[in-house]
Structures are given as structure tokens and as C-alpha cells.
């Protein structure tokens, strides 16, 4: 009888412990569900999705954590938007500056080099027969002016291709690829 009673108590104790463990696991999972939600939102934020929010929890500690994470997510989203806006503005300012620089190179330096070449051609025409040394020097000036003008034109094209303003990005890229294919 004692053996039977001991066995029944052991079985009852075992079943009670299994039930207790099952209840602890169930309630622990239920209580930890908000933590899983927090982890999921943090993973989404890490991937760049700043629209996710954590719903309120019944536990004050988790509610406080959720509120802070939601606040940080809002700040990160607005900071990302502001950074994107500033990047676009920076690129626009850079393009305007390039356009301005290319125009200045064309207007001032390009015209000055053209004027030097025109004067050199004029002098060469007058001194061709009378002074061969001057004529040779003027010819050197013309060659230097041509080289300088080619350099200025190359700088202007590198800064801001004129095709970009006239025909758009697709045509400018197509022309750049054609030029590259010709040279390489």
C-alpha cells in the first residue's frame, strides 16, 4: 500500500510539475510578446523602415521603452528626410556652380584666347614677307592659343557638358560614351 500511495504521489507531483512548467512557459511567452514586438520594430528600423511603431504595453517598463523607441524612430525618420533634402540641395548647388564656372571660362578665358589668336593672325599677315622671325613667333603664339583654347574647352566640357543643358542627361551620357569609345 505504501508503495502504491508513494507512486500515486510521485505521479501526481510529476503531473503537477509538468502543468506548472507549461503554465510558466505559456505566461512567459505571453508576457514576452511585447518584447518580440520591440525586437521586430528595431529590426525594421535597422533596415531603414522608419514608419514602424511599437504599440503600447500593459507593463509600465515596456511602455516606457516603447515610447522611447517610437520617439527615436520619429527622429531618425525626420533626420533621414532632412539629409536627403540637403543632399539634393547640395547637388543642385554644385551643378549650378559648375554651370556658372563653365560659363565664366567660356565668356572670359575662351574669348581672351580667341582674341590673342586673332591678333596673332593679323600680325602674321602683315609680317609674313617683311620679318620672318616675327612671323615665326606669331605662328608659335597661334599654336599656343589653339592649345590653350582646347584646354579651356575640355575644362568646360568636364565641368558641365553643354549637351546636358541643351538635350538632357540621356543625350549627354550617350555622347560621353561615344567620345570614350572613340578614344579607347
* String of DSSP letters for 36-84: HHHHHHHHHHHTT-TT--PPP-SSHHHHHHHHHHHHHHHHHHHHHHHHH
Q: How crowded is residue 66: how many other Cβ atoms within 10 Å of its Cβ?
A: 20
| Stretch (H or E) spanning 86 | helix 60-104
- Residue 106 has what pLDDT? 78
Q: Residue 19: its pLDDT value, please? A: 96
**Cα Rg of the chain (Å, integer):** 40
pLDDT in tens, the chain (184 residues): 788 889 999 999 999 999 999 999 998 888 778 888 888 889 999 898 888 888 877 778 888 888 999 999 999 999 999 999 999 999 989 888 888 888 888 788 888 888 888 888 888 777 767 777 787 888 888 889 888 888 888 888 777 776 666 777 787 778 778 888 888 8
> pTM for the full model?
0.56
d(CA 150, CA 158) in angstroms, rounded, equals: 12
Give the DSSP letter of residue 113.
H
Amino acid at each position: 500500500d505504501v508503495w502504491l500511495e508513494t507512486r500515486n504521489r510521485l505521479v501526481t507531483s510529476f503531473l503537477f510539475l509538468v502543468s506548472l512548467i507549461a503554465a510558466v512557459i505559456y505566461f512567459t511567452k505571453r508576457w514576452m510578446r511585447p518584447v518580440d514586438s520591440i525586437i521586430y520594430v528595431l529590426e525594421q528600423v535597422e533596415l531603414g523602415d522608419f514608419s514602424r511603431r511599437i504599440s503600447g504595453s500593459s507593463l509600465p517598463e515596456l511602455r516606457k521603452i516603447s515610447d522611447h523607441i517610437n520617439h527615436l524612430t520619429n527622429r531618425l525618420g525626420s533626420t533621414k528626410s532632412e539629409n536627403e533634402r540637403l543632399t539634393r540641395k547640395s547637388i543642385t548647388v554644385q551643378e549650378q556652380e559648375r554651370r556658372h564656372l563653365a560659363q565664366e571660362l567660356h565668356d572670359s578665358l575662351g574669348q581672351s584666347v580667341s582674341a590673342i589668336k586673332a591678333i596673332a593672325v593679323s600680325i602674321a599677315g602683315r609680317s609674313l614677307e617683311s620679318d620672318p622671325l616675327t612671323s615665326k613667333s606669331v605662328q608659335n603664339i597661334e599654336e599656343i592659343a589653339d592649345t590653350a583654347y582646347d584646354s579651356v574647352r575640355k575644362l568646360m566640357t568636364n565641368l558641365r557638358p553643354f549637351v546636358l543643358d541643351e538635350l538632357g542627361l540621356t543625350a549627354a551620357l550617350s555622347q560621353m560614351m561615344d567620345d570614350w569609345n572613340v578614344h579607347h
